[in-house]
Amino acid sequence: MTYLINRGLVIGSLFASVMLGGCVWQSDYDALQTQNKDLQEQLAAQIKYTVNSDLLFPSGGWEMSEAGKRIIAGFAQKLAPTQQNKLYVSGFTDNTPIGPALAREGVTSNQILSQKRAESVMQFLISQGVKPDLVAAKGFGESNPVASNTTAAGRAKNRRVELSLAPM
């Protein structure tokens, strides 16, 4: 009889261990939830769409070309219906000095040109259904180059517009 009771206790203990092994403490669960949220935010922060400015604007200009509008419209069609995150439009230029024609129009620096380009893309996105309260534009001029400005190919890579989704 003692053997059966001891055996029952051992089996009962094993059963309880197996059943409780699948359980998670609330604090562990909360920590995992926080970690999951952090990973989702990092992923959202990494979503970036880069377009060469030469595809969007005429040389030295900030008004979007028809081809540029088609490119950005395609992006807007995918984003606008389900947009929940803030969209940042960042404009960049190469380090080529501003010419006299642009200077006469009030564009006296690459930072100003990149700002006008970013704002042009932002306004077009809004016209395509992107939520105005969830989009912002900033020009960075020649800062943050992705290639060397010593070659034509490098300067072309640096003239770009980046569309980045921020975390919620």
Kindly give the interhelix angle for 66-79 and 110-127, rounded to the nearest 10 degrees. 60
Q: DSSP of 132-149, one letter per residue?
A: GGGEEEEE-TT-S-SS-T
**Chosen CATH of 54-168 out of 1.20.1250.20, 3.40.120.10, 3.30.1330.60, 2.30.40.10:** 3.30.1330.60
**Torsion region of 49: left, alpha or beta (phi above 0 gives left; psi -120 to 50 gives alpha):** beta
Residue ranges per structural domain of the chain: 54-168
Q: Report residue 87: phi and psi, to 5°.
A: -110, 125
Name the residue among 9, 110, 119 with its Cα closest to residue 72.
Answer: 119
What is the full per-residue pLDDT of the chain (168 aa) written as tens digits?
Answer: 444 444 444 445 444 444 445 566 777 767 777 776 665 555 555 689 999 999 999 988 999 999 999 999 999 999 999 999 999 999 999 999 999 999 999 999 999 999 999 999 999 999 999 999 999 999 999 999 999 999 999 999 999 999 999 865
> Global pTM?
0.72
